A and B are shown apart, each in its own frame.
Chain A
Amino acid sequence: MSPQAKSARRAQLEAAALYPLEWLEERSGLVGGVKYFLFRKVPRDTGWFHTLGSATLTAFLVQAITGVILAMYYKPDPNSAYESIQHITNDLTLGWLVRGMHRWGASVFIILMFFHMARVFLFGAYKYPRELNWIIGVLLLAMGMLEGFTGYLLPWDQTAYWATVVGINLNGTAPIIGPFLAQFLAGGTEIGADTLSKFYALHMLAIPGAIFALIGLHLYLVIRLGVTSPPWSPDAAGRERPEAAAPTNGREGLVRPGRRGGSE
């Protein structure tokens, strides 16, 4: 077999293999979009510190997935919530594992959010033009805390109950609106029949929805604005860059993503 024939056959095979991707790309542009997302340019001296954001995202996805599975077995009713948690932990195969992932993953998620925030703060990555992304990050932190607050009630044991009593009454001490806020959260003057299902709905529908939307905005801005170099980088923003003819349209100093499909 001649080399030409071999390579022709190879080209044919490659074309066949790539055909579905090309079909998809032609109709949706998704392949280019994914390449644009994954193979964008980053500063050459990014390091492990820059992985904290992705780690936080991963922790959130773990919470989302394990939460959906737990919701298949949990019963948000004052008379059966505690028993359903016992059932998940003690009776159902691997229930102890998934509940444990969700329970400990919650702490991991919060801790990683703080590490990520510390990295952004110490690297000065919140500065122009990324102020808006810092603000979105603060909203995400608040949403994460709300997830912790609403999720803590769901085991419906003594710790959960009294911690939530204290948490609701802490809200109740806010000036002017505090008493209204407390009564809204408890669904009445005290924790009652509907408090648990209200917290459950907030915990698994309202707040995660907001978090998904905010993560979308967060990532959009990360892709649009690029990743910051570390403060010790020779490429740090504001320094003279090797290519002096860089555009000066007000985006100087930004590491700009490459064209669609990566490599420029």
Chain B
Amino acid sequence: MSDQGPHLPAPSLWPIGFAAGIACILIGLVISVLVAVVGFGIALVFGFLWLRDVTRPVRTPAPEVEPESRPSRATEATAPAEGDAMPVMSEEEIATYPRSTFISIATLGLGGVIGGIITVPVLGFAVLPSFTNQHEPNVELGPIEDFPEGDFVIATFLEDPKIGEVSRRTMFIRNNGQLEGQPSFTVLYSRCAHLGCPVQPNGPVFDDEKKTIGDHVELTPTKPAGFGCPCHGGQYDTEGNRTAGPPVRALDRAEFSIRNGKLVIGSFYSVAKVEGTGERARIQKYGRMPPGVHVDGPEAWLYPLEVPR
């Protein structure tokens, strides 16, 4: 056992870097001079380090190094005087960096890396689809003539016919006539600004005049004095402003456009308050927020981040 002196030269990792540099040079000769130059640099640096390592015993006298081995506790405690060949190490030497520590750290590190590689994309798939590729509605509701001027129509439609009835939305739409030559519509979303229940028109609904357009759009005339929510009693006027109850803002609205004489529903947006009525309404418009969330005033400071979609 005593003949196990230190290796000369000591094991070194520098040749690996040197070899990688040479490989880069060879690859660079085929694909790009730049790679060859980088490889030359790597080979130079690692070659120098290797040489320095190899020549160290020549430049400096080799230190006396005990072979790396640990005494068993039993040997140390009970039979130190038996003349055992096992060298007894001092406390200082035991405190060096033993192989088992290296293996523990390497196992933990490798395990962490493997775990991360597996976990990160899986967690991403669990969370990200809810926040990406949220399509904007773009639904044709029918000819403008089906929306009599000054009256509300309850329009229900599928926001995404591919996913079916679960995407059915209800809007209250009033034709405000013309404003400076442009058609004007009030498009209120039926989702209550309190906690999202469906608000209903406070007034007669003319079910016998219901029109079905296409395969999923239904238009029903109504004459509401306002809108009310069945769940917790929120009340709104015909501009969607809150008049009573728990809602924190006005009803959401949707953009609209006219395409080939047909009314098309665009993206939804949230509204703090509406001043004025009909085509003269001035709307404080915000990005779409969930119900129950303030969009203006000090309470809106609680929601500083916009949800990506």
Contacts and interface: CB of A to CB of B under 8 A. Distances in A.
A152 to B, nearest CB: 15
A78 B166 contact: yes
Contact of A191 (B166, B291, B302): B166
A78 B289 CA distance: 25
Contact of A162 (B127, B231, B305): B231
Contacts, number: 82
A172 B290 contact: yes
Interface string A168-193: 11101101101110111011111111
Contact of A179 (B160, B165, B307): B307
A179 B196 CA distance: 13
Given A165-B196, A192-B163, A173 B293 contact: yes
B102 to A, nearest CB: 33
A180 B308 CA distance: 9
Contact of A176 (B289, B304, B309): B304
Contact of B127 (A78, A178, A182, A184): A184
A10 B218 CA distance: 85
Interface stretch (B20-28, B41-49, B129-137): B129-137
Nearest to B268: A189
Interface centre among A168, A175, A182, A189 (most CB of B within 10 A): A189
A184 B307 CA distance: 10
B166 A193 contact: yes
A166 interface: yes
A79 interface: yes
Nearest to A191: B166
Contact of A186 (B130, B163, B165): B130
Contact of A183 (B163, B196, B307): B307
Given A79-B164, A165-B197, A189 B293 contact: no
A162 B289 contact: no
B197 A162 contact: yes
Interface residues of B, number: 30
Contact of A192 (B127, B166, B231, B291): B166
Contact of A169 (B160, B196, B307): B196
Interface in B65-123: none
A22 interface: no
B167 A192 contact: yes
Contacts of B288: 189
B303 interface: yes
A194 interface: yes
A188 B195 CA distance: 16
B305 A183 contact: no
Contact of B292 (A172, A180, A184, A186): A172
B15 to A, nearest CB: 49
Interface string B295-306: 000000011110
Given A78-B164, A170-B195, A184-B130, 20 more contacts: A78-B166, A79-B164, A165-B196, A166-B197, A166-B231, A169-B195, A169-B290, A178-B290, A178-B293, A179-B289, A179-B290, A183-B307, A187-B129, A188-B130, A189-B288, A190-B167, A192-B160, A192-B167, A194-B129, A195-B166
Interface of B: 127, 129-131, 134, 160, 163-167, 191, 195-198, 231, 268, 288-293, 302-305, 307, 309
